[in-house]
Amino acid sequence: MLNIHRHRAFHYINPNPLPFLLHFCTNTSPSTSFQVSYLIHNFGFSPQCANKLCSSYNVRFKTTQKPDSVLNFFTNHGFSKTQLHNMITKAPWLLSCDPIKRVLPKFQFFLSKGASNSDIVNLVTKNPMVLSSSLKNQIVPTYELAYGFLQSHKDTIDCVNNSPTFFGDRRVASNIRLLIENGVADSNIARLLKSRCRILQTCDMLKLVEELKDLGFDPSKATFAVALNAKITVNKTLWKEKVDAFKKWGWSDQDVLVAFRTQPYCMLVSIDKINLVMNFWVNELGWDAMALVKGSAILLLSLEKRIIPRAQVVQYLLKKGLRKANASLICPFIVPDKLFLDMFITRFEESSYLLKLYEENLNLA
């Protein structure tokens, strides 16, 4: 359990050996450094791995006192043997640090903002490099910047849980400033922070913002944040594969762009889902795939729970001449449930049959 009030005790070594600390062995070869031997005997690293970690991260200590005190500090703060192993693998330099001066203030800061003990353990285990960031110059300013948009300590702490490198990444502040300068609404920035804060760690933000503006996206609209998410989340190879999946159903490159502008979430849908919906729409219903260009929101809906049950009702209405052949095929699928019942079921004399047809297909989901 994290304890920020009894930190003086952490200066001392527990008189009872920790279960994961093997007694340091002194009979290593003369060519093996003290630090390398410590990593081998206390963490089970191979000589090659231990040597690489020490040389790459400039690990320095001459006795067991410093690294043992570090491990006792983290153990007293709730870190398990496995978590310590993973943490030291990524940041062996921690064994040389003064945890009271370098680590404890950061724990205290996150605790003061409402982070739980497990939040902090999870954060540091996944990304111990956050402990190398300056509390005053990096962590606090980034935290306060994110909090300014989210207005919630819980949501701000979740940024750490969603992306352990978030508060140590200098790109976050510069990318947020760039978005503001390009007219991105505060609500959009808050949405990005809450749903996909990793997006704010991209190194190509300016290029992506300009590309989306050239495509006609308005930075002040909610769709801009979704489009930015899609552009960053979907790599170029996968993007091309999704475009090709749409083109297989008769769309052109321009059609894909229109669909993306209409509903940018459509490029976050899997290729399998694209093909399943298109196959049902074209081959089973016999409808035109081009109708989905400006109705790409349908691709986001559940095939079993939404599209199929409602399609059965719409097909019946078209067959019986109760709905005009040139009426929108998209509207019946995007309206809320109550409105769908009012517009396409209960207003007709055949309402009992239509409701049964709808519910039977709904229950098959």
Give the pLDDT of residue 27: 39
- Span 10-23, average pLDDT: 35
* 322 and 280 within one domain: no
Q: What is the DSSP string of 176-240?
A: HHHHHHTT--HHHHHHHHHH-GGGGG-S-HHHHHHHHHHTT--TTSHHHHHHHHHHHHS-HHHHH
Please tell me whether residues 78 and 14 are part of one structural domain: yes
Does residue 342 lie in a domain region? yes
Query: Of 248, 270, 300, which residue constitutes the final position of a domain?
Result: 300
- What does R_g of the chain's alpha carbons equal in angstroms? 29
Does the global pTM surpass 0.95?
A: no
Distance CA(141)–CA(275), nearest Å, equals 46
Same domain, 180 and 223: yes
φ, ψ dihedrals at 259, nearest 5°: -65, -40
> Same domain for 192 and 225?
yes
Regarding whether 311 and 353 lie in a shared domain, the answer is: yes
Q: How confident is the model at residue 2 (pLDDT cuts 50, 70, 90)?
A: low
Residues in the chain: 365
pLDDT value, residue 180: 95
Range of the domain at 306: 302-365
As for how many domains the chain has, the answer is 4
Lookup: tokens for 46: 């191979």
Is residue 119 included in any domain, yes or no? no
Does 117 reside within a domain?
A: no
**259 vs 14, 114, 267, 269, 290, CA distance in Å?**
63, 42, 9, 12, 10
* C-alpha span between 114 and 117 (Å, rounded): 10
User: Does the residue 26 lie in any domain?
Assistant: yes
* Integer Cα distance of 345 and 121 in angstroms: 54
Residue 58 lies in a domain: yes
| Mean pLDDT across 157-169 | 84
* Domain annotation covers residue 182: yes
Query: CB-based contacts of 178: which residues, under 8 Å, 6+ apart?
Result: 205, 206, 209
Give a yes or no: residue 108 inside a domain.
Answer: no
Percent of the chain with pLDDT over 90: 73
